[in-house]
Amino acid sequence: MSHADTHSHDYDHDHKPKGFVKRWLMTTNHKDIGTLYLIFSLAMFIFGGALAMIIRLELFQPGLQFVQPDFFNQLTTMHALIMVFGAVMPAFVGFANWMIPIMIGAPDMALPRMNNWSFWILPFAFTMLASTFLMDGGAPAAGWTLYPPLVLQGGHNLAFAVFAIHMLGISSIMGAINVIATIMNMRAPNMGYLKMPLFVWTWLITAFLLIAVMPVFAGAVTMLLTDHYFGTSFFDAAGGGDPVLFQHIFWFFGHPEVYIMILPSFGIISEIIPTFARKPLFGYVSMVYATAGIAFLSFIVWAHHMFSVGMPLGGELFFMYATFLISIPTGVKVFNWVSTMWKGAMTFETPMLFAIAFIILFTIGGFSGLMLAIAPADFQYHDTYFVVAHFHYVLVTGAVFAIVGGVYYWIPKWTGNMYSERLGKIHFWWSTISVNVLFFPQHFLGLAGMPRRIPDYSTQFAEFNMWSSIGGFAFGLAQIFFCIIVWRTIKGKGTTKATSRVWEGAKGLEWFIPSPAPHHTFQDGAPVNDGHLAHVSSH
């Protein structure tokens, strides 16, 4: 099929079709689909956050106030599934759709119709997932990990949830195929792999991870389904199965999944920091290899989530040391970001503030991860709030901060309007202070022994839980404020028009410095998208 055939003739990039349905439902334009992904992600972020607010409301003080234990467990399960598959991953796919064609000089994504399909699966899948709340027995209540035998106690909601998860997996795989096909086949002439911006590199590697692990998750939940409805015994010890087998399969998916949610963040941060430090990224090639190294190692550390299941000592030692190894390429990245800022002509606009906060707070999450990687110590930390604190530092002050920083960074390009810098900075400080009030006390709760996923607790944990909940409500409110900022920017209220040199600084910087310092501007005979192909206007 020729590229011309993949676009309807009435849909060219300059003359968007009239009418809401044709413009949004039938779109094959990478920018419109990117916008749909980002709006959907924001809606899921608010919905998943609302569930978290109910959780923190219940934990504000000891005793059962607002929800029953079973409903509390449904909330924790659904909050996690919605945040992981509905908020964080679609946001990154939205960034990929918007920015990858522009960054590599391609006219669109390689498979535009599949692109449309992979998005429109999502709203239906999440409607089905959320509808389990309304069924007899409620939503699944076994944590986001869906461990048997607990998950098999549920009613028919399990089948519905599994079907929704299959649809989400199909969407992710289609998106990943599209990203790989686009990057490998549609780069501008002369753009070799080691001239691609780092955001493009992180997404290429993430896409391979997605294709590798989503079918594993699909297999695990299908086996749950057949155990529940068809009399198989994959995970039923009475029939010769083993519940720990599920954990192995789940975490073989689950650990690379964590990196699927953080690698594109690394790419976004690697675009923001060179811009506001006004220097090319330090150690570009080492960043590419570090990203690939993290992706490879993510496949051989899965059982560090399972130290307490009774695996042999040799297994515990292997998974402990393999986990330690991941800190090396991650440390390379942090070193390179700090080195990029070193002696740079730095300014501190909102995207840069989020990027710096990302580096500091993500590193805290990395250190607590190293603590959890120590097998004998993990026996103490396992299933406590220390684990909750760890992965929220990685996924909230990591992935979510990178997403928000990326939105501030690119929204002038997307909308043609400059966001309000004053409101952006208020949002940054409000979010950063409240998110630490929310999650930092949970380290102490976990070290003191408070178990996670329990709606009631001993009075000795009351004060830290109160502070954690206050931080949670403040952080939730800050994100409503963020929605208002985004809406005002889209509508152009109280904003200025963005120029073609929006982040202009000491050295005449354009939209983004592509991560490697280029020798030319890729404009000799290459397609130029919007006239803003990634390049530095002066060295």
**117 flagged as catalytic:** no
The catalytic position among 171, 298, 350, 368 is: 171
pLDDT recorded at residue 495:
74
* Domain-located, residue 463: no
Please check whether residue 417 is in contact with residue 498, taking contact to mean a CB–CB distance below 8 angstroms: yes
- Residue 258: which of 195, 200, 301, 318 has the closest Cα? 301
**8 flagged as catalytic:** no
The catalytic position among 32, 58, 227, 257 is: 257
* Domain-located, residue 318: yes
Helices (H), 186-283: 198-229, 243-260, 263-277
pLDDT recorded at residue 136:
86
Query: What does the alpha-carbon distance between residue 106 and residue 395 come to, in Å, rounded to a whole number?
Result: 31
465 Cβ partners below 8 Å, 6+ apart?
A: 59, 60, 61, 62, 441, 445, 457
For residue 137, give the CATH number of its domain: 1.20.210.10
pLDDT recorded at residue 143:
86
The catalytic position among 16, 22, 452, 488 is: 452
* Domain-located, residue 204: yes
Query: What does the alpha-carbon distance between residue 372 and residue 378 come to, in Å, rounded to a whole number?
Result: 5
How far is the CA of 395 from the CAs of 85, 326, 454, in angstroms?
Answer: 13, 17, 21
**270 flagged as catalytic:** yes
pLDDT recorded at residue 493:
83
**Whole-prediction pTM:** 0.90
Query: What does the alpha-carbon distance between residue 468 and residue 463 come to, in Å, rounded to a whole number?
Result: 9
Domain total of the chain: 1
Please check whether residue 397 is in contact with residue 367, taking contact to mean a CB–CB distance below 8 angstroms: no
**535 flagged as catalytic:** no
**305 flagged as catalytic:** yes
The catalytic position among 27, 76, 172, 340 is: 172
The catalytic position among 31, 278, 333, 392 is: 333
The catalytic position among 27, 182, 270, 298 is: 270
* Domain-located, residue 537: no
What residue type is 293 in one-letter code? G
The catalytic position among 37, 144, 409, 511 is: 144
Q: Please tell me the number of Cα atoms within 13 Å of 79 on its side-chain side.
A: 17
* Domain-located, residue 538: no
The catalytic position among 255, 390, 392, 413 is: 255
pLDDT recorded at residue 520:
39
* Domain-located, residue 461: no
Range of the domain at 446: 2-455+468-532
**497 flagged as catalytic:** no
* Domain-located, residue 83: yes
**195 flagged as catalytic:** no
Q: Please tell me the number of Cα atoms within 13 Å of 493 on its side-chain side.
A: 7
181 Cβ partners below 8 Å, 6+ apart?
A: 110, 111
Q: Please tell me the number of Cα atoms within 13 Å of 283 on its side-chain side.
A: 18
Q: Within the chain, which residues score under 70 in pLDDT? A: 1-18, 154-155, 504-539
pLDDT recorded at residue 151:
87
Q: Judge residue 376's burial from the number of C-beta atoms within 10 Å of its C-beta, 0-12 exposed, 13-18 middle, 19 or more buried.
A: exposed
**255 flagged as catalytic:** yes
* Domain-located, residue 306: yes
The catalytic position among 79, 195, 278, 443 is: 79
The catalytic position among 304, 390, 413, 453 is: 304
